[in-house]
Amino acid sequence: MFGTSGAKRPAIGGTAIFAAYNPLYSLAGFFVGMLVGMTGVGGGSLMTPILVLLFNFHPATAVGTDLLYASVTKSVGTVVHGTRKTVDWHIVAALATGSVPAAIATLFVMSRVGTLDAHAAGPLDLLLGIVLVLTSISIYFRPLFLRWAGPRLDHTSARGISGWTVLLGVFLGVLVSLTSVGAGALGTTALLMLYPQLPVARIAGSDIAHAVPLTLIAGIGHLLMGSVNLVLMGSLLVGSIPGIIIGSLVASNVPDKLLRIVLATTLLIVAVQLLMK
């Protein structure tokens, strides 16, 4: 494994905050940035399992670091979408109404049950694997889910849709705080089902904008618990920023169906590896 001396799988405590720089972290950031730029799927679905499986980080460190890392990248994405007016702030507010309190409550519970200890690595790996399986399914079968939801939600009132959006926020708040996965693929799929009349770009922009406060609050919570590696986060950003730019430029030349199949298959393979640990 490529792990660092400061964030191995045993109990991590405050030692996860700093560790030596490894250029392989930036390479991983570039790889994930490329895929995020090509697919639009949140980096947590890819980055967190890479940190756990390839670099042998404790899953709590992988999750915490990825959350703060995502808050930076999502902020940049929100600025871009905001200038293009592809953010529906009503959706963002409804999601945050559910996700922010849920994230705070989840972080409080995590701080009390000792998720940073060595014995917590196994359960966190299992949970991460399950969420990645769900993410893979949501990506691969997204068109089927959208066709199924269309006629069932057509007659739902605007108030009812808002209520479901808040509940979606609660679900994402818990899931993202625990695994750093869910706000991208799962959140976007659910929003497309709830708001089929909106352009995909507006759904994606709203999902990214909502992820900023969610990942920032969850990331700060993990930082206070000592499960963030700041050097690792900086290393990932160095690689991911050019990766996202290149991936975005290449995306238009690759068929969407092919991208979905490749990404869904990759996530499924990673999930199986985590579940078999």
The DSSP line for 115-127 is TTSGGGHHHHHHH
Q: Is the pLDDT higher at 129 or at 38?
A: 129
3-state helix, strand, coil in the chain (%, to 5): 80, 0, 20
Do 33 and 43 contact (CB within 8 A), yes or no?
yes
Predicted pLDDT at 191: 87
Q: How far apart are alpha carbons 95 and 74 in whole angstroms?
A: 16
Q: How far apart are alpha carbons 202 and 219 in whole angstroms?
A: 25
Q: What is the pLDDT of residues 27-81, one digit of tens each?
A: 998 988 877 766 666 566 788 888 888 888 888 888 899 898 888 878 877 787 7
Do 177 and 131 contact (CB within 8 A), yes or no?
no
- Residue 153, burial from CB neighbour count under 10 angstroms (0-12, 13-18, 19+): middle
Predicted pLDDT at 204: 78
Q: How far apart are alpha carbons 194 and 199 in whole angstroms?
A: 12
Would you place residue 2 in the very low, low, confident or very high pLDDT band (cuts 50, 70, 90)?
Answer: very low
Q: What is the CB neighbour count within 10 angstroms for residue 225?
A: 20
Do 184 and 40 contact (CB within 8 A), yes or no?
yes
Q: How far apart are alpha carbons 212 and 95 in whole angstroms?
A: 12
Predicted TM-score (pTM) of the model is 0.79
Of 133-137, 151-155, 177-181, 220-224, give the range with the top mean pLDDT. 220-224
Q: What is the pLDDT of residues 191-210, one digit of tens each?
A: 888 888 888 778 878 888 89
Do 92 and 210 contact (CB within 8 A), yes or no?
yes
Across 24-28, 134-138, 160-164, 253-257, least confident range: 253-257
Q: In degrees rounded to 5, what are phi and psi of residue 181?
A: -110, 145
Predicted pLDDT at 5: 37
Which of 38, 6, 9, 14 is closest to 258 using CA atoms? 38
Across 102-106, 162-166, 215-219, 273-277, least confident range: 273-277
Q: Where are the alpha helices (DSSP H) in 22-120?
A: 23-39, 44-53, 59-83, 89-113
Would you place residue 190 in the very low, low, confident or very high pLDDT band (cuts 50, 70, 90)?
Answer: confident
- Residue 220, pLDDT above cutoff 90: yes
Average pLDDT, the chain: 80
Do 243 and 30 contact (CB within 8 A), yes or no?
yes
Would you place residue 7 in the very low, low, confident or very high pLDDT band (cuts 50, 70, 90)?
Answer: very low
Would you place residue 8 in the very low, low, confident or very high pLDDT band (cuts 50, 70, 90)?
Answer: very low
Do 266 and 45 contact (CB within 8 A), yes or no?
no
Long-range interactions of 273-277: CB distance < 8 A, separation 24+: 273/49, 273/53, 273/129, 274/49, 274/52, 274/53, 274/125, 274/126, 274/128, 274/129, 274/132, 275/125, 275/126, 275/129, 275/130, 275/133, 277/122, 277/125
Angle at 109 between CA 105 and CA 113, to 5 degrees: 175
- Residue 156, pLDDT above cutoff 60: yes
26: its two tokens: 């930036």
- Residue 6, pLDDT above cutoff 90: no
Q: Within 13 Å and on the Cβ side, how many CA atoms surround 255?
A: 4
